[in-house]
Amino acid sequence: MKTIGLLGGMSWESTAEYYRLLNEQIAKKLGGFHSARCIIYSVDFDLIVNLMHTDNWSEITDILTKIAKQIEKIGADCLLICTNTIHKIVPQMEQHLSIPIIHIVDATALKIQELGIKKVGLLGTKITMEDGFFSERLESKFNIKTIIPESSERKQINQIIFEELVRGIIRPESRRIFQKIINNMHENGAQGVILGCTEIPLLIGPSDVFIPIFDTTRLHVEYAIDLIINQSA
């Protein structure tokens, strides 16, 4: 079996979910007592958040690239970055690695295409929704268009992510806010919605909405497992 490197801690809540899903899916596919061969590096998220708030992406890139190189040196065959937002700097990180970074947008896009959907809503941190790295890759590589919530709604989403979800706080009133925002995006033409923050699936599941949702955490893990099993065969 190939060895997967997990670059996590952003937040540890979602990284724990990555680890759980990875091992559950490996056991399901391979049977017996199989579990995932993986290397986990969990960062101190406080440092990364502070750099995000000052828009210091060059230092974030330097820090995470050094960690990714350590993961590669230890023996990882590929890398999963356990967060959507950090995929903003994947092009810069790839230049310094010999192993592939399995991209969360690609994993999500393939599932959207499978359902024949052409336009989706995108939920995530303000950076993920507004920066363009996610939506531009979806459109240029997969011809999938995205819409994002209104400015006030984006502020609410970002606040819930950083003040509640990354701390493991799940509130019914926050779920209702997300449901209302998803309904608004559906009325504006979204045929489905991307849960483009790895903590959002802790709050919202398929039974909470009436249109297809795309859980980037689960899709990222499933895509990675298919790749490593096929390459190992």
Structural Rg of the chain based on CA atoms: 17
State the pLDDT at residue 230.
Answer: 74
Q: Which token pair is 223?
A: 């895509």
Mean pLDDT of 161-176: 94
Q: What is the 3-state secondary structure (H, E, C) of 31-89?
A: CCCCCCCEEEEECCHHHHHHHHHCCCHHHHHHHHHHHHHHHHHHCCCEEEECCCHHHHH
Domain formed by 4-103+219-232, architecture:
3-Layer(aba) Sandwich (3.40)
**In the structure, what pLDDT confidence band is assigned to residue 164 with cuts at 50, 70 and 90?**
very high
Residues assigned a catalytic role: 83, 197
Instruction: Give counts: helices (H), strands (E), the chain.
Output: 10, 7
State the pLDDT at residue 231.
Answer: 65
Query: Which percentage of the chain shows pLDDT scores above 70?
Result: 99
Question: Are 107 and 220 a contacting pair, CB within 8 Å?
Answer: yes
- C-alpha angle 124/127/130, rounded to 5°? 90
State the pLDDT at residue 184.
Answer: 96
Mean pLDDT of 185-200: 95
> Do 4-103+219-232 and 105-215 come out as alike in CATH topology?
yes
Instruction: Kindly report the CATH class assigned to 105-215.
Output: alpha beta
Mean pLDDT of 149-167: 95
Query: Which percentage of the chain shows pLDDT scores above 90?
Result: 92
Record the pTM: 0.92
Q: Delimit the domains of the chain by residue range.
A: 4-103+219-232, 105-215
